[in-house]
Amino acid sequence: MAATTAADAPAYTPEQLQSVRETLKSPRRLKTEVLAGLVVALALIPEAIAFSIIAGVDPRLGLFASFTMAVTIAFVGGRPAMISAATGAIALVIAPLVKSHGVDYFIAAVILGGILQIILGLSGVAKLMRFIPRSVMVGFVNALAILIFMSQVPELLGVPWLVYPLAALALVIVFGLPQLTTAVPAPLVAIVVLTLITVLASITVPTVGDKGELPDSLPSLFIPNVPFTLETLQVIFPFGLAVAFVGLLESLMTAKLVDDITDTRSHKSREAWGQGVANIVTGFTGGMGGCAMIGQTMINVKASGARTRISTFLAGVFLLILVVALGGVVSVIPMAALVAVMIFVSWATFDWHSIHPRTLKMMPKSETMVMVATVIVTVATHNLAIGVGVGVLVAMVLFARRVAHFVTVERTVTATDGHETATYAVNGELFFASSNDLYTQFHYALDPEHVVIDMHASHLWDASTIAALDAITEKYRHHGKDVKIIGLNEASTTMRERLGGKLGAGS
């Protein structure tokens, strides 16, 4: 039996590894999914409590959100094995609403954010992911790795000295055990070993229970007690929109990362509206809302080897069982074990290849600049949306600047039957960045009476270029010279016929 299992393992394609039906037929793969879900659930507990504190709400709201998000997204999400739960990104953008208007408005904003995510998902917002360059994606991953590590530093400051050898032992386990065997997830082993040591030896160190009170009941239906008025909408809409955009951005970026790790493709539009459904369900069960979590997703996919929706579903189920039925056991887990797990996740998440001297030497400086800008802004603001937005903006500016220099203008003067003609051959893509310099490339006063602008090797992309051509022809007419534009392709001709002379050029 063991020989058969070992032999048939390589036969699975990446797509087959994501099949729930096929996984249920394989005890070995099912065990991987179950143990992965358990490890993720254990790692979710202190994170959910910490994010609840950031948002300024009861820890139960974070724990309930993590349960409902994980279970719901397991069915409606578009990326198998990705973990969604309460997150720091959502907590940060919505925390001000809790302080100003209370928990009911907070939950109402989460539900509105879910509705907006469904609208954005169905309208195809996920397709915008194609405009995020690889250098921004690398910067996003590296920044997340740094933030994950930084979030663990406070757990190692001002603590009993025994925390350090315990954390070191856990690190040895999570880094070293996979070199010996992958039968059991190393993070789970580290958590069990450290818990047994601290309990049996009566060692007093910070534990999960110190983070906050665990719930002792199941989540129930929750209707926000807010007036259904335009004034309420005006209060919650900005926060709901922030929840929608930040949640979608982090979820879609994480989904793309998991796609690369697993060599599979996910349904981004489904993931987008699925996040909305999960947030609505979370809101109506009294949860604080959330989105995809890259740290727990990396534990699930990279550290534990999970590939299906089973692990995501079980992470939510195990979380609820652990905090409600086994809260006493979970509360004694030392934070040192979970810190070690998250440090491992940070190390595994960081793209070390991106900062290798050989890579930096080969990579265009502009792409390295984009990556560094994304990392710096994300780490400085602790806001993934701002970091990615700045990264994309820097990439656009550098790309426009680079492409603008690709446009060349060559001038030749020929004489036919005693009449001279100046011909300008324009080569390159003309858009707002490159067309602004086009106007200065012509010798208006020195050229003969007949001027030809040859556009065979060029293309007009926007109104800025049309306005530039109008300005050029108008300037030549001002000097009493005849100018003719030839060689425009069909698309450029259509645009010029529609906009030419109507943009105020030369006025």
Beta partners for residue 457, in sequence order: 427
pLDDT of residue 490: 92
The DSSP symbol for 215 reads P
On whether the CB atoms of residues 79 and 255 are closer than 8 A, the answer is yes
* CA–CA gap between residue 229 and residue 437 (Å, rounded): 53
Gyration radius of the chain's alpha carbons: 29
On whether the CB atoms of residues 461 and 431 are closer than 8 A, the answer is yes
Which CA distances in Å does 76 have to 69, 309, 394, 405?
10, 10, 35, 47
**Tokens describing residue 505:** 């050029």
**3 state DSSP class of 269:** helix
* CA–CA gap between residue 229 and residue 301 (Å, rounded): 44
* CA–CA gap between residue 211 and residue 331 (Å, rounded): 9
On whether the CB atoms of residues 479 and 506 are closer than 8 A, the answer is no
What is the chain's pLDDT, residue by residue, as a tens digit (507 residues)? Answer: 334 444 444 568 888 899 999 999 999 999 999 999 999 998 888 878 878 877 878 888 889 999 999 999 999 999 999 999 998 778 878 888 998 999 999 999 999 999 999 999 999 888 877 778 889 888 988 987 888 888 888 889 999 999 999 999 999 999 998 888 877 778 888 888 999 999 999 999 999 888 777 787 888 899 999 999 999 999 999 999 989 988 998 899 899 889 989 999 999 999 999 999 999 999 999 999 999 998 889 889 988 899 999 999 999 999 999 888 888 888 898 989 888 888 887 888 788 989 999 888 888 888 999 999 999 998 998 777 788 889 999 998 888 777 767 788 999 999 887 789 999 999 988 888 778 778 888 999 899 999 999 999 998 988 888 998 999 999 999 999 999 999 999 999 999 888 888 776 444
**Tokens describing residue 322:** 């652990």
| Residue 279: partners with Cβ closer than 8 Å, 6 or more residues away | 69, 110, 111, 113, 114, 117, 243, 247, 289, 290, 291
Q: How many CB atoms lie within 10 A of CB 256?
A: 18
pLDDT of residue 114: 96
What end-to-end distance do the CA atoms of the chain give, in Å?
85
Please provide residue 392's backbone torsions phi and psi, each rounded to the nearest 5 degrees. Answer: -65, -40
- This prediction's pTM: 0.72
The DSSP symbol for 213 reads P
**3 state DSSP class of 291:** strand
Burial class, 13, CB count within 10 angstroms (exposed 0-12 / middle 13-18 / buried 19+): exposed
